[in-house]
Structure 1
């Protein structure tokens, strides 16, 4: 069953789409029927920059298990890095 609930978040990063790299300013996460993945439902994540139009979009469709594993991997990677290293305000070498 689709939830029709979309969680939106402001982001600061970059992604590579069909037209090359673009600045990512927004994200959306929702559970729905996938467009391409061979599953009944997936956790869908869109990385976008609305000000650059529809071509500034990268999307992933993950199983629930894969989405949870990705969350854990992100948390582990951040925990293993020195504090502030991945921060926009962190110091650069």
Structure 2
């Protein structure tokens, strides 16, 4: 069942779309019918830069199990790195 609820988030990073790399400024996550995946419903994630138009978008359609595995993998990768290593400042917390 579609929730019609979209969770938006401001992002800082980069993504590679059809026309090359672009700066990420936002994302959206929602459960809905997929456009391409062969499932009735998927967890859909859009990585975007609204200021650069529709070509600055990367869309991902995942099964619920895959989405949960991705969340866990992100948490494990961050837990394995020094605190702050992947922050906007680029330096681990406490580094000079």
Q: TM-score range by the shorter chain?
A: over 0.9
Separation of aligned partners in 2, 1:4 and 1:91 = 39
The 2-side partners of 1:59 and 1:15 are apart by 11
1:51 aligns with 2:15: no
Q: Which runs of 5+ in 2 are unaligned?
A: none
Consecutive aligned runs of 4 or more in structure 1 exceeding 4 Å deviation? none
Matched, 1:3 2:3: yes
Instruction: Kindly indicate whether residue 75 of structure 2 is the aligned counterpart of residue 75 of structure 1.
Output: yes
Q: Distance in 2 between matches of 1:15 and 1:79?
A: 23
Match of 1:24 in 2: 24
Quote how far apart the aligned CAs of 1:4 are.
Answer: 0.3
For 2:78 and 2:47, locate their aligned partners in 1 and report how far apart those are by CA, in whole Å: 20
Give the aligned partner of residue 62 of structure 2.
Answer: 62
The alpha-carbon deviation at position 91 of structure 1 amounts to 1.9
User: RMSD across aligned C-alpha pairs, in angstroms?
Assistant: 1.0
Q: Shift of residue 90 of structure 1?
A: 3.1
Instruction: Say how many residue pairs are matched.
Output: 92
